[in-house]
Homo-oligomer: A and B are copies of this chain.
Amino acid sequence: MMSPFVTAAVLLIGDELLSGRTKDQNAGWIADRLTELGIDLKEVRVVADDEPAIVEAVNALRARYDYVFSTGGIGPTHDDITADAIAKAFGVGIDYRPDVVAAMEKVFGDRLNEARLRMARIPDGASLLYAEGNVAPGFIIGNVHVMAGVPKIMQSMFSAVAPHLRAGPAVLSETILADAKEGDVGTPLGEVQKRNPDVSIGSYPFQDERGYNTNLVIRGRDPAAVAKAKAEVLAMLDEVHAALA
C-alpha cells in the first residue's frame, strides 16, 4: 500500500550560497508550497558546484524521499554542472536534446553559441520542465526535479510541475501567541504534547519591544485532533498567566 504521507527533500546547489554571497530564498519558498500541497519536506541540503558532492547528495536524497527538488547550476557557464552531475548520479548518458536545440535556434538565432547550447544538454530519459517565457528548460528524471537557481525562474518551473505531484493530506496549522516566556510554558506544554500525540506542537521564542515572547504552533492532519490540542493549549495558557499574575 502506498503511504498517504508524501515526503520530499530540497537540494540547493551553488558555491555562492556557501560563501554567503547569495542568501537563499528558494528553500523557504519551496517549503511553503510543499506544505500547501500536504507534502512533508524532510530535509534540505546545500552543496557546492562540485560533481562528487552533487552526485552523493542526489543519490542519498532520491533513495530516501518521494520527491527531490534541486535548484541551481543549469545555466550556460562553466560552473553550471548540475545536469552532468545528475546524469552521473543516475548512471545515464547526457547529450544535446534535439527539440531543445531547435527551440533555442528559433529564439537565439545567431546568438546561439556554445555556452547557450550547454543548456540543451539533458540527461537521457529525462522529461523537460519549462519556466514560462524561458527556452532553457529544467528537467525531471526519476523522482528528481532539476530547476534553475534564479528564484523567479525556479518558481515558474515549480508551479508547472506542482499540479502533477502526488499531494498528501493537508496539514493544518494553528499559531497561538503565548504572551509568556518559553521557559514558563515549557513544562505544561510538554504535558499537552504528551496527551495529544497526533499533533506536533512547536514552541518558537522571539523577542520584541516587550521582551521575550513565544509562538506556539500546533500542526496536524486531523482537524479534530488539532482543535482538541488548541483548546488544551489555550486552557494551559490561562493557568500559566494566572500563576504568573
Secondary structure of the A contact surface, majority rule: mixed
Which of A122-130, A138-146, A156-164, A197-205 has 4 or more CB atoms under 8 Å from chain B?
Answer: A197-205
A 162-186 to B, binary, CB cutoff 8 A, 1 in contact else 0: 0000000001010000000011111
Counting chain B CB atoms within 10 Å of each CB, which of A114, A182, A193, A200 scores highest?
A: A182
CB of A46 closer than 8 Å to a CB of B? yes
Q: Which residues of B contact A17 (CB under 8 A)?
A: 27-28, 31, 44
- Is A217 engaged at the interface, CB distance under 8 Å to the other chain? yes
Total identical chains: 2
Report yes or no: B20 in contact with A34, Cβ–Cβ below 8 A.
yes
Which residues from B are CB-within-8-Å of A27? 17, 24, 46
**Which among A24, A27, A47, A200 has the greatest number of chain B C-beta atoms within 10 A?**
A27
Residue from B21, B189, B205 within 8 A of A78 (CB atoms): B189
Within 8 A of B (CB), among A9-28: 12, 15-25, 27-28
**With contact pairs A28-B24, A113-B186, A207-B150 given, residues A219 and B19 touching in the complex (Cβ less than 8 Å):** yes
Apart from A18-B31, A21-B217, A113-B183, 9 more pairs, CB < 8 Å: A16-B202, A23-B28, A43-B53, A75-B203, A76-B182, A79-B193, A108-B183, A115-B190, A150-B207
When the two chains form their complex, are residues B207 and A152 in contact, meaning their CB atoms are under 8 A apart? yes
- Can you name the residue of chain B whose Cβ is closest to the Cβ of A148? B205
Bound Cα distance from A175 to B142, whole angstroms: 37
Task: Name the B residues within 8 Å of A76 (CB-CB).
Answer: 182-183, 186
Nearest Cβ on chain B to A137's Cβ, whole angstroms: 14
Instruction: Confirm or deny: A35 has a beta carbon within 8 angstroms of a beta carbon on chain B.
Output: yes
Complex CA–CA separation, A179 to B31 (angstroms): 33
Give bound CA distance, A150 to B213, whole Å.
Answer: 12
How far does the Cβ of A55 sit from chain B's closest Cβ, in whole Å? 14
With a cutoff of 8 Å between Cβ atoms, the chain B residues found around residue A12 in the complex are: 44
